[in-house]
């Protein structure tokens, strides 16, 4: 990674403004999954051990800039973090009105700011009204960009060093993730950001061969750019999930009531042809677990690639799992994004679980990205067998698409 990290700067006596990704699930004021909090602890501890004062920024949920909303408050996260760190965590109830608390912060102290997305300037986006002219819309966007800069400048005043450890938000050009860097001299990556970029970078820049990509999920449209970018790098692509049935229909198979994007049938044909031309093997399911309803208690059966009219495919079948596992066993590098079926329902989880087990047994450098894939790995109990589980769904997807991430680009080069 050619970006500076907290290893490259002196932090003693400095106020470190640290962007974390604490967008965690909360029910009745209790965090139900603190994976992202735990992932941030190494960076926090290094800063504190070096004698820095920490000011933490994060978003939570999608409050859409409407001001304070209790369900999106980061106060429960601050309380949870205090227990995880074993030290007090102060809380600022307004991220832009925390100047006095920041000024009083001593080395070794931690202050968490309230949800940055309580301000619409954080995201900096505007919608065009139906009756709005292009000229007025352009002016509205320009005004918002200026307000976003003002917010970023106000946040920047809190710190001496800016550290971005929120890989999950690195694909957003928000006030606290990218714009802020324009107003600070030292902008560096945290340890989690460094780790994410290192592993994902290895996969897309210099992968060990054979390189197998496993791409699943509901729609081809959501993964098309990933497929196109990975096709330049991988040896084999294994396709599962709902997106597989657009490809199978494009090949002339009957897919019943399975999920399909009819408008992308030609795109699917072109993708298969491009893979053949590039010498990349794309494997599609050869059998499927089908159901007579999208329901956990539906009637099911295993069929080949001709699916009866009133039935829908909700998972890859056992023969497909066997074939995919054989490909994974030969791999030196595996990237997985998207489940093989509706794994949330036990009857349709075998395909995703089978892929999990195959990756765990492979010994390959394995990188898991995407919220559903990560959830599936955690559900399988095999998370500790994976080389790297990304904390950023959208960010990891855009990285695999070959896109530059604004929150990374904005950091200082080494």
Catalytic residues: 36, 219, 371, 394
- d(CA 258, CA 178) in angstroms, rounded, equals 41
HSE value, Cβ hemisphere, 13 Å, CA-based, for 119 = 26
Cα distance between residue 197 and residue 203, in whole Å: 10
φ, ψ of residue 316 to 5 degrees: the values are -75, 155
Question: 131 near 358, Cβ under 8 Å?
Answer: no
| Residue corresponding to tokens 């897309």 | 204
Burial bucket for residue 414 (CB in 10 Å: 0-12, 13-18, 19+): exposed
């Amino acid at each position: 990674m050619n970006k500076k990290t907290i290893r490259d700067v002196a932090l003693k006596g400095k106020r470190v403004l640290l962007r974390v990704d604490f967008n965690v699930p909360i029910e009745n004021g209790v965090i139900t999954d603190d994976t992202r909090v735990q992932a941030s602890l190494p960076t926090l501890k290094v800063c504190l051990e070096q004698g820095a004062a920490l000011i933490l920024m994060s978003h939570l949920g999608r409050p859409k800039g409407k001001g304070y909303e209790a369900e999106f408050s980061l106060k429960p996260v601050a309380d949870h973090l205090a227990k995880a760190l074993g030290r007090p965590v102060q809380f600022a109830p307004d991220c832009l009105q925390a100047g006095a608390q920041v000024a009083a912060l001593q080395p070794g102290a931690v202050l968490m700011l309230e949800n940055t997305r309580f301000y619409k300037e954080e995201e900096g986006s505007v919608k065009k009204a139906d009756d709005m002219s292009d000229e007025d819309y352009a002016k509205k966007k320009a005004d918002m960009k200026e307000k976003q800069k003002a917010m970023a400048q106000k946040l920047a005043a809190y710190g001496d060093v800016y550290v971005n450890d929120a890989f999950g938000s690195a694909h957003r050009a928000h006030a606290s993730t990218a714009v802020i860097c324009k107003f600070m001299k030292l902008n560096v990556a945290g340890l989690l950001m460094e780790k994410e970029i290192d592993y994902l970078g290895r996969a897309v820049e210099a992968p060990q061969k054979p390189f197998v990509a496993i791409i699943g999920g509901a729609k081809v449209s959501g993964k098309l750019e990933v497929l196109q970018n990975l096709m330049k790098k991988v040896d084999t692509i294994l396709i599962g999930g709902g997106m597989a049935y657009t490809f199978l229909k494009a090949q002339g198979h009957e897919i019943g009531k399975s999920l399909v994007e009819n408008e992308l049938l030609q795109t699917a044909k072109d993708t298969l042809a491009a893979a053949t031309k590039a010498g990349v093997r794309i494997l599609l399911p050869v059998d499927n677990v089908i159901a007579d309803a999208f329901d956990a208690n539906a009637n099911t059966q295993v069929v080949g690639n001709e699916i009866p009219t009133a039935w829908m495919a909700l998972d890859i079948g056992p023969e497909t799992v066997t074939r995919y596992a054989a490909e994974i066993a030969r791999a030196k590098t595996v990237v997985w994004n998207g489940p093989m079926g509706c794994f949330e329902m036990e009857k349709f989880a075998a395909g995703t679980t089978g892929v999990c087990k195959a990756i765990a047994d492979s010994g390959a450098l394995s990188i898991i990205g995407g919220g559903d894939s990560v959830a599936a790995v955690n559900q399988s109990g095999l998370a500790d067998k994976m080389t790297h589980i990304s904390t950023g769904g959208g960010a990891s997807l855009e990285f695999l698409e070959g896109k530059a991430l604004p929150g990374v680009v904005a950091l200082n080069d080494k």
